[in-house]
Structure formats: C-alpha cells, structure tokens
Structure 1
Amino acid sequence: MAQALRRRQLTPRRDGLALIARFGPPLTIAILAGPVVAGLLGTVLPAFGYLPALGGTAFGLDAFKSLLAMPGIGRSALLSLATGLASAVLSLAIVMVFLAGWAGTRSFARVRSMISPLLSVPHAAAAFGLTFLIAPSGLLARLVSPGLTGWERPPDLLIVNDPNGLALIAGLVVKEVPFLLLIALAALPQIKLVETRALAASLGYGRIAGFLYLAWPQLYGRIRLAVFAVIAFAASVVDVALILGPTTPATLSVRLVGWMNDPNLSMRFVAAAGAVLQLGVVVAALGLWLVLERVFAALRNAMAARGLRLRRDAGIRHAALGLMTASGIIVGAGLVALGLWSVAGLWQFPDPLPSAFTLRAWTSALPRIAAPLGTTLWAGALSTLIALVLTLLCLLRERDTGRTVGKGALALIYLPLVVPQIAFLFGLQFLFLSFDFVARFPALVLAHLVFVLPYVFLSLSDTWRAFDPRYEAIAAGLGKSRWRTLIAIRLPMMVRPILTAAAVGFAVSVAQYLPTLLIGAGRLPTITTEAVALAAGGARRTIGVYAFLQMLLPAVGFAIAILVPALLFRQRRAMQA
C-alpha cells in the first residue's frame, strides 16, 4: 500500500493540457507528410502509365519517352538546375561575406533594419517590381534617358525573359538574400561571434578570414536546412519564372504547369513524368550543392593551412555591403514602381514620372478584386490559425517528453520545404479529384497549411524554447494549473513572437501560387494567381494594382504583429523588448 502511494506521488499528474498536447505531433505529421507522400505517389504512378481514370492500367515508360521527345526539354531542365544553384550560391556568398565583414557594426544594424521588412514581400510582387524596374521601358531606363543613353523610345533589348535566365536569377537573389540573412541572424548568437572575432584578430587575421575559418563552419551547420530549402524552391519555382524567366524554352516547372492544364488529357501522363524529372532536377541540385560544400571546405582548409590572413579585405567587405544594400534598394524601388503604375495616367517614355495621376485602375479593378481578396484573407487566416495551434501543441508536448521537436519522426515537418511543390501537388490534385475535393475551400486551406506550418514552426520554436522556465515554476509553486499558467503567463509574454510567427505564416499563404492554381482548379482565385495571370498581358496599371495589393497584405500582417504588443505593453518597459 505504501509503495503504491509513493509511486502515485512520484508520477506526474496528467492534466488536460498534457492530454491535448499529445495529439499535436501525430496531427502535424499527418498534415505535412500525408499530402506530400500521397502526392508523390499520385505523381509517380501516372508517370509510369498507371492512371485508371484516364485509361492507364499498365505500367510502362511511354510517358517518359514522350517527355524526352518534347523539344527543348533538356534545356528546360538545365535552366531549372542552373538558376536554382546560381541563385543559391550568389545569395549565400553575399550573406556570408556581409556577416563576416560587418556583423556587430552600425552599418550592419542599418542594413538589417532595411532588409528585414523585405521578407514580407511575396516573390511574385518582388518579381513584378523588378520587371517594372529593369525592363527596356522600366523606371531605370526612364531615369537615365535620354540624357545618358540618348534613348527617345524603349531600346530593343531582351532584359526580362532573357534566354539564359539572368533576370530570373536576379529576381531570386534579391528575395533569397533577406531570407538567408534573417535565418543566419537567428543562429548567430549561438556561435559566440564576439569572442571568435577577438581570437582571430589577436592572431592577426582579417575580419573576413577570421569569420571564414572559425565562425562560418558553425553558423553554416545551423542554417544548412534553410539553404537546402532555398535550392529546392529556386530550382522549381513557377510564379517568378513565369514573370522573369525565359520562354524559348521556359524552365521545366513552367512547362509542367502548361501540360497539367492542357485540354488534351493524355498530356497528364507527360506532366507526371515531367514532375518526376523536376524532382530529379532538385535532387541533382542538392547533390551538386553537397559537392560544392566539400570543395569549399577543402579550399577554406587549404587557405587556413597556408596561413592566409587576408588583412586587406576592405574592398571585399565594401563590395558585400554594396550588394546587400543594393538588394534592398532594388526591391524597394520595384515596389515604388508598382505603386506608381497603379496610379499612373499617361506615362510616355522617357518621362521619369507620369504626366498625371489617377485612381482609374483601382476603381476599375476593385469590383474584380473582391472575390480573390476574400479567398486570400480567409485561406491565409485559417491556415495560419491552424498552423499556430499545431505548433503550440507540438512545443507543449516537447516539454512533456523532453525530446526536441524536429528530430525523429517530426523531422518530417521540414519535408514540404525540400520537396519541390510541383513534384507532389500534381499527384495531390489527382487524389483530391478522386474524392471530388478539388476546388473546395477546405482543400485550398489544407494545401496552404502544408506550406504555412513549417514556417510558423521555424519562426516560433526557438523563441518558445528560450522562455525562462522560472516563471512557470513560480506559478506552479503558487498552486496554479498548467492551463492557468499557459493562459495567464506564457501566452501574454509570448504574444510578440506568436504574432510574428502568424505574420510569417500569413505572408507564406498569400504568396502561394501553384497550390492555389492546382488545388483551386481556377475556381478559387487569390490575389497572387490573378496577378501572375496578368503577367502575360501588357496592362501594367492593372498588374500594378494586383501586385501592390499582394505586397500590402503581408505588410499589414507584420504591422499588426508590431503594433499590437506595443499597445498592449505600452506601460511595461520590460515587455517592449
């Protein structure tokens, strides 16, 4: 009897919160891994000829033979591979050298404050802004013409949609640089940069050499997954490639979308085979990146062994500062161009500004915007709310079990980040069609949730884990339940990171193009799908309206994440941090 009583005293009492938290990890795995695995299966089977709904009842390689017979298919795959790797290499190099040369300085703080808000700008909006900036009749050409160029009319230059994908690489870099920088900033406090830099300086190494030899290996290990996600995204992106990428031929992902929407249903088999090829392209890009990692590590070790200290690195440091600043200025100037075109009246080349301003484009577009705007807001709000609840349940369960979320089975939370969207969304569309679930709003929310949840988790998890447990210990000592402690102490103190994670999730949902296009089947349009659909036309004023609104929605989300805590805690100085 005494032993049973003692065991009961030593066993922690299960409360309702712990029981609910147990459902967090399995639900998260099911929501993330389920659609991805089912979608991959639904892609692979038709690629090998098995799709009974379209008469495919036998396995074979006919779809791959038809795919390889497509004109320019090899160049399309090579373009996807090259643009994905090139944009990742350039983005990471800029971030690495910028951190090496400027971390901890006033210039670093100023650039960081300028770059950070750009994370909320969707890729499509940034791509439209870059197009309006660098096109032959764009803002840059207008500012220097005719005085410096002599151009009285737009020059016949193929800048946007160039066959080598240079504009596409530029568009990806200006968006990947802010993302990688903020990911690196989150990991930077874990490597003791000040002490490492002081040690390197005492041995006579320059700032870049000391960072490269001592700090970068530790930092890169912590942001490696984010780099993989950038490569997978860049090698298979659709919306940015439609706006900036080449067209003769287009990248593989763009051609796949065309085949998926082809009226000839037999092209679905070719599209499935192309999706498998796209997956192979991403795997090849990641494999080549692993080779580049080894080559870079060998070069770094050889430089360190030879004692290269790179004391005179001012030129490299200022070049990195210039490139980092330029990426922010380019996106900002592109957004200004979007805003100008949305209210422009007559704007002839080479006038630097419109001769008149009007709201005609807005008033004519607003009636058509209402439905896509409502779908965007509801899908973003619901997917973000569900992602927040699941993330909180996983993190609460983490405390109960003592196992870090993201290891073991829950490593599947990162699966949607490294598997190209088009490789499994095609199969997921067929799966939903078989259950008459396509073009339904719950299906659209689920499709967005697959991509929103990983980003919400990554945004919130580190801050949640850094919470001082002594606050909860004091509450427990006062006899408060876990529910009461969570609601009255932890959640109010975590309102700023929770709202920030929600803003990130909402921004990710707003930016989703391919999931909305395939799962919505064109009957659930959003601001993003409507904006990209306008890319093929020349109505710059209408494009400016949609793209500017697409940029504005995430900005409002981040503004709420900043203003609400400031208002709630305006009389509590410690809560302002």
Structure 2
Amino acid sequence: MTPPDAPTRRRPWSVLAWARPLTLLAFTAPIAAGLLGTLLPAFGYLPAIGGSGVSLQPWRELLAAPGVASALALTLATGWSATLLSLLLAVGIVAALHPRGRSTRLAEWLAPLLAMPHAALAIGLAFLISPSGWLVRWVSPAWTGWDVPPDVATIGHPSGWPVVLALLIKEVPYLVLMLLAALNQVPARAQVDVARSMGYGPAQAWLAVVLPPLWRQIRWPVYAVLAFSLSVVDVALVLGPGNPPTLAVLAVRWFADPDPGWIFPASAAAMVLLGVVAASLAVLRGVEHGIAAWHVRHLARGRRGGASEPLARLATRLGGLLLASAVLAVVGLVLWSFAASWRYPAALPTAWTAANWTRQAGSLALPALTTLVIGAASTLIALVLVLSGLEHESRSKRRSRAVPWLYLPLLVPQVAFLFGLQVLLVRLGADGRLLAVIACHLVFVLPYLHLSLADPWRALDPRLARTAASLGASPARIFWRVKLPVLLRPVLLAAAIGFAVSAGQYLPTLYAGAGRVATLTTEAVTLASGADRRVIGTWALLQALLPLLAYLAAATLPRLLYRHRRGLA
C-alpha cells in the first residue's frame, strides 16, 4: 500500500498536470504576440495601413515629434520617485512597527485600500488637492483670504507630483503587505532580539539583520512597482500634465489619433517605453549590489545609534498621512455624489440630494453589470487554473520554479503589447467582444491570484491531508472537504484581489474592447477630463465600491460559515 504522504505518480493525461502550463500560456502567449504586433509597426511594417516594408521612418518621426524628450524625462522622474519613496516608506513603516509587535492588524487595515482602483483613487485625490478642492475649502477664506480658488497648478502640474502622490497612496500599502507576508519566511523576532542585545535600536536592528534576507522575497514586487510607475496611464490621464504628458500617455494618444499614420511613431514610443522599463530594472538590480556591499562594510564598522529610529518614526507618520489622504479621497467622492449644491468656499455641500444617482442610474447599469461579469469571469477562470496548479504541486511534491514568469504581465508595460494584441484580435475577428476583454483581463488577474494564494496553500499543515488519506479519503475528497474549507478565507481574499485587479483595468478594456465594451473604469476616466463633479463622483464612487464590497464579502463570509469552528473564521 502506498503511504499517504508518498508523491503521486505523474500521469501525462492528468488534468491537474496541465494546469501549470495552461496558466503560463494564458499570459505569456498574449504578451509575446502583442509585443511582436507592436514591434513590427515600430519598424514600419503594418500592411493594413500601408506599411509593407521595414524602415526606420517611425523612429525618425518619433524623434522629430515635439515634447518627446520632456515626456521621457517626466516618465523617469515620476516613475523612479514613486518607486523609491514607496520602498523607503514601506520599509520604514515595517521597521518601526514590527519589532514593537504593532504590525499584527496592519494588513487588515491596508487590504481594503488595495481594493480601490487606481482611477477612482486618482479622481478622489483630484477632488481633494485641486485649487478648489476640499483641502483649500477647509482653510478658506478664514485662514488664507481666498474668496476664489487660488491660481496655482496642482492637477496637471508639470513636475507630475500629483501622479507620484497617487502612486504612493497605492504602492506603499502594497509593499507593506508584501513585507509582512515575507516576514513569515524569516526568523525576524529572534534576529531582532539578538541584534538588540548587541546595542542596536529596534528599527536599526530590523534594518541591519532582517531586511537583507527579506529583500530576496520582495525583490519582484519592487520591480513590479517600478515597471507600473513608469508606464501607468489612467492615473497620469487624471492627474498628470497634458502637454507634454508621460511617454505612456503620449503613445496612447498617438494610437488613438484619427490619422492611422501616427500608429507607427506610437509603436516606436511604446518600444522606447519597454526599453526604459528594462533599463530601469537593470539599474535597480545594480543598485541592489551596491547597497549590499555598502551594508556589509557598514555592519563591519559596528556603529550603533544613527538616524534609523527617527527616520522610521517619520515614515510611519507619513504613511498615516497617505492613509488619511486615501480616506479623504473616498469621502470626497461620497460627498460629491450626493451634493446638490457645493460652491466654493463651502467646506461641505450646502444642499444634499440622491438625484445624482437616480439621473445616472440608467447610464450606470450596463457598465456596472459589464464590470461585474468581466471581473467575476476572469477571476473564476484564474481561480480554477491557480488552484489546479497548486493542488498538482502539492500532490507531486514538485514546487514550481516559474515565479519570475508570473511577474511578466506586471513588468511589461501594457502600452507595449496591448496594441499588438488588438491587431491580432482584429485579424481573428474577436475585437470588441466581451470574451476578448475577459481573456485580456485574465492576463493580469492570474499573477495576482497566484501570488496571493501560493504562500497560504504551501503553508497548510500537511498532517491534515495525511490524516484524511489514512482514513481512506481520495485526493479529490481531501481537496474539497479538507483543504478548501481550511483555506476558504485566503481563497476568497485572493478572489477579491483578482476582482479588484479586473475592475481597475483601463487600457486592456479599451484595446481588447475596441471602445465598444464600456466598464465603470473606462467611463470614469473619460468623464474625469471635464464632466460635472457630481457626475464624476457618482461614477468613481461606484467603481470604488464594487471591489470594496467584494473584499468585505470575502472577509465576512468565512466568519459566518465557520462561526462555530475555532481557527477557521
């Protein structure tokens, strides 16, 4: 008789054995095809619009276009600033709170913030920091003397600082959660205690002995933050400067230009952005080596004290300000969606109404339903693939080495491959269809679902499965009756994250849907350029509410189902 914990013989016809290859194929094939479909027009080849030969003319047009150098500089400035500041703040927050045992409930507070789409946050932040925004209204005119909004540039500032601020609000919680998750794989408490016994302060001890091994666990999330910050489009459209915009926004504008000839320089710009991201990742990798060498020399000197403690405390205060800004941004959306009249400089609406919702109900219904269908379908497909792959991994006792590939959709700029993917969809006659949009969203939902579920699944006590097997339960019965009930909470939370990722997709919906599949995100970003604030607030609030409700359902359902079972709720 085969022991319960013996590796299951791998069968070539096993359905589970195909889960991992199908998962990798689901996002590597579209990205590869899309990159090729964008690379060829970058060198003048796109027969559908007259490009029948390879040439460097698109690159000459790109270099001759006004504002390209400024767009590239703005892209580098905002992308690197957001990434470095996010990393420093996240590390400082965890270094300050974790050694003192204050990080236990931090993840529960930050997780709902991750569910908020970037576009909804950017719109709420615009309501907060604009010259006639909520912050100015609080202090005007009593403290400032501004009876009319001040003539200062905030939204669309040439430096791009509002874009950096919005990215910080989203990326700092993400990196904090990644650090907290990685701490489960490092004996952090014991290491900090040893360092503190040698005279190091709490934060300095954490930075000296915990962060270096921890970096190997969070390297890929940091790379993903850098790639996203350099290529983000929806946040830059809402908060960034318009002339010139970032390079990603400039490429999107040229792709959407009525003159099809702009597709060639747009493709070249997309390839430049891909090169910028690749070069930036290489630079960051080199900086890692430099800091590691410096850290060894610094520890050898044996210095105690320093600025670690006050800087870590400063990071926690700045993190608190970012969290408060996010909350105020959401509250601002709520106020504008129910405001009948809110004239400057009133701090609150002078009249309230639900008419904004009733007037928009007819327009909101179809995009909201489309958002729900796309999000639910892409999340369900991703969940089946990920759970199948993890279950095959646990049965075969062979851990996957494909983690770097999982970050591929997060590292490749969307604008670099989505146009090429759209060209492929057009040739297949699938563009503008709901199934195409679902498949495109799946490319981005899959990595997040796998990264959210892999650690909880692998951390499940194997004695549970062995006990069930010793009682005669089949592997399938163990999966359905033991593993899934025990891991229901992380599975539902991962599904909520997947739905939030789908609900926040702007460019994938725009390109795969060919402008004919409207979601709350695409409509909210379009309205943000000049519609009534009450209308914008209504759309953006609903866009933010759907992922938040999914997260609340994922957090509440296990407590209801397992309220009589200790440890499962």
Q: TM-score range by the shorter chain?
A: over 0.9
Distance in structure 1 (CA, Å) of the matches to 2:354 and 2:11: 55
Secondary structure in 2 matching 1:19: coil
Question: 1:540: how far off?
Answer: 0.8
Which amino acid in the other structure matches residue 535 of structure 1? A
Secondary structure in 2 matching 1:345: strand
Q: In the alignment, is the contact (CA less than 8 A) between 1:33 and 1:413 conserved in 2? A: no
Distance in structure 2 (CA, Å) of the matches to 1:463 and 1:335: 31
Aligned to 1:544: 537
- Structure 1 pair 10/254, CA: closer, same or farther in 2 (3 Å)? closer
- Structure 1 pair 17/360, CA: closer, same or farther in 2 (3 Å)? farther
Among 500, 505, 510, the alignment partner of 2:503 is 510
Which amino acid in the other structure matches residue 88 of structure 1? T
Distance in structure 2 (CA, Å) of the matches to 1:536 and 1:431: 30
Question: 1:535: how far off?
Answer: 1.4
Aligned to 1:452: 445
Which amino acid in the other structure matches residue 453 of structure 1? L
What does 1:522-561 align with in structure 2 at a 5 Å threshold?
522-561=515-554
Q: In the alignment, is the contact (CA less than 8 A) between 2:7 and 2:396 conserved in 1? A: no
Which amino acid in the other structure matches residue 198 of structure 1? D
Question: 1:286: how far off?
Answer: 1.3
- Structure 1 pair 258/311, CA: closer, same or farther in 2 (3 Å)? closer
Q: In the alignment, is the contact (CA less than 8 A) between 2:24 and 2:405 conserved in 1? A: yes
Distance in structure 2 (CA, Å) of the matches to 1:505 and 1:35: 19
Q: In the alignment, is the contact (CA less than 8 A) between 1:80 and 1:281 conserved in 2? A: no
Distance in structure 1 (CA, Å) of the matches to 2:510 and 2:375: 15
What does 1:405-484 align with in structure 2 at a 5 Å threshold?
405=400, 407-408=401-402, 411-484=404-477
Question: 1:315: how far off?
Answer: 2.5
1:179-236 deviations in Å (ceiling 9; x for gaps): 0011111001222111111111111112232122211111111000000001111100
**TM-score when normalising by structure 2:** 0.96
- Structure 1 pair 313/265, CA: closer, same or farther in 2 (3 Å)? closer
Question: 1:242: how far off?
Answer: 0.3
- Structure 1 pair 10/361, CA: closer, same or farther in 2 (3 Å)? closer
1:94-123 deviations in Å (ceiling 9; x for gaps): 011111122153654465443332111111
Question: 1:284: how far off?
Answer: 2.2
Among 37, 59, 73, the alignment partner of 1:64 is 59
Aligned to 2:122: 127
Q: In the alignment, is the contact (CA less than 8 A) between 1:32 and 1:412 conserved in 2? A: no
Q: In the alignment, is the contact (CA less than 8 A) between 1:111 and 1:324 conserved in 2? A: no
1:314-360 deviations in Å (ceiling 9; x for gaps): 43232111011111111001100111011111111111001011112
1:485-540 deviations in Å (ceiling 9; x for gaps): 11111111111111111000000000000000111111001000000001110411
* Deviates most, 180-189 or 114-123: 114-123
1:4-45 deviations in Å (ceiling 9; x for gaps): xx99x9997769998110110121121111001011111111
Distance in structure 1 (CA, Å) of the matches to 2:162 and 2:41: 34
Distance in structure 1 (CA, Å) of the matches to 2:444 and 2:142: 48
* Deviates most, 348-357 or 109-118: 109-118
**TM-score when normalising by structure 1:** 0.95
Q: In the alignment, is the contact (CA less than 8 A) between 2:182 and 2:217 conserved in 1? A: yes
Distance in structure 1 (CA, Å) of the matches to 2:6 and 2:186: 38
Aligned to 2:77: 82
- Structure 1 pair 13/115, CA: closer, same or farther in 2 (3 Å)? closer
Q: In the alignment, is the contact (CA less than 8 A) between 2:93 and 2:176 conserved in 1? A: no
Aligned to 1:96: 91
* Deviates most, 66-75 or 310-319: 310-319
Alignment identity in percent? 45
Distance in structure 2 (CA, Å) of the matches to 1:372 and 1:100: 43
Among 168, 176, 189, the alignment partner of 2:171 is 176
Which sections of structure 1, spanning at least 5 residues, go unmatched?
Answer: 1-5
Secondary structure in 2 matching 1:64: helix
Q: In the alignment, is the contact (CA less than 8 A) between 1:345 and 1:354 conserved in 2? A: yes
Distance in structure 1 (CA, Å) of the matches to 2:10 and 2:278: 45
Question: 1:58: how far off?
Answer: 1.1
What does 1:245-324 align with in structure 2 at a 5 Å threshold?
245-310=240-305, 313-324=308-319
* Deviates most, 110-119 or 164-173: 110-119
Q: In the alignment, is the contact (CA less than 8 A) between 1:531 and 1:546 conserved in 2? A: yes
Among 479, 488, 493, the alignment partner of 2:481 is 488
Q: In the alignment, is the contact (CA less than 8 A) between 2:22 and 2:385 conserved in 1? A: yes
Among 47, 51, 58, the alignment partner of 2:46 is 51
Matched, 1:158 2:119: no
1:240-298 deviations in Å (ceiling 9; x for gaps): 00011111200011111111111111111111111101101111221222233234334
Q: In the alignment, is the contact (CA less than 8 A) between 2:128 and 2:328 conserved in 1? A: yes
Matched, 1:40 2:35: yes
Which amino acid in the other structure matches residue 47 of structure 1? A
Distance in structure 2 (CA, Å) of the matches to 1:209 and 1:459: 29
Distance in structure 2 (CA, Å) of the matches to 1:522 and 1:106: 49
Q: In the alignment, is the contact (CA less than 8 A) between 1:212 and 1:300 conserved in 2? A: no
Which sections of structure 2, spanning at least 5 residues, go unmatched?
Answer: none
Which amino acid in the other structure matches residue 529 of structure 1? T
Question: 1:411: how far off?
Answer: 4.1
Distance in structure 1 (CA, Å) of the matches to 2:65 and 2:155: 25
Secondary structure in 1 matching 2:339: coil
Q: In the alignment, is the contact (CA less than 8 A) between 2:114 and 2:174 conserved in 1? A: yes
Secondary structure in 1 matching 2:135: helix
Among 561, 564, 568, the alignment partner of 2:557 is 564
Q: In the alignment, is the contact (CA less than 8 A) between 1:81 and 1:282 conserved in 2? A: no
- Structure 1 pair 277/549, CA: closer, same or farther in 2 (3 Å)? same
1:463-484 deviations in Å (ceiling 9; x for gaps): 0111111111112112121111
Secondary structure in 2 matching 1:266: helix
Among 322, 325, 328, the alignment partner of 1:327 is 322
Say what the alpha-carbon RMSD is for the aligned residues. 2.0
* Deviates most, 417-426 or 98-107: 98-107
Distance in structure 1 (CA, Å) of the matches to 2:544 and 2:463: 41
Distance in structure 2 (CA, Å) of the matches to 1:548 and 1:426: 29
Secondary structure in 2 matching 1:536: coil
Distance in structure 1 (CA, Å) of the matches to 2:212 and 2:539: 42
Distance in structure 2 (CA, Å) of the matches to 1:332 and 1:224: 29
Among 223, 226, 234, the alignment partner of 1:228 is 223
- Structure 1 pair 534/11, CA: closer, same or farther in 2 (3 Å)? closer
1:44-66 deviations in Å (ceiling 9; x for gaps): 11111111111212111111111
1:354-403 deviations in Å (ceiling 9; x for gaps): 10111121111111111111110000000000000000111122123332
Which amino acid in the other structure matches residue 239 of structure 2? L
Distance in structure 2 (CA, Å) of the matches to 1:358 and 1:321: 38
- Structure 1 pair 10/248, CA: closer, same or farther in 2 (3 Å)? closer
Q: In the alignment, is the contact (CA less than 8 A) between 2:19 and 2:385 conserved in 1? A: yes
Question: 1:300: how far off?
Answer: 2.8
- Structure 1 pair 13/467, CA: closer, same or farther in 2 (3 Å)? closer
Secondary structure in 1 matching 2:15: helix
Secondary structure in 1 matching 2:352: coil
* Deviates most, 204-213 or 327-336: 204-213
- Structure 1 pair 247/117, CA: closer, same or farther in 2 (3 Å)? same
Distance in structure 1 (CA, Å) of the matches to 2:467 and 2:292: 48
- Structure 1 pair 506/16, CA: closer, same or farther in 2 (3 Å)? farther
Distance in structure 2 (CA, Å) of the matches to 1:400 and 1:440: 38
- Structure 1 pair 502/11, CA: closer, same or farther in 2 (3 Å)? closer
Aligned to 1:366: 361
* Deviates most, 504-513 or 42-51: 42-51
Distance in structure 2 (CA, Å) of the matches to 1:109 and 1:330: 23
Question: How many pairs does the alignment contain?
Answer: 568
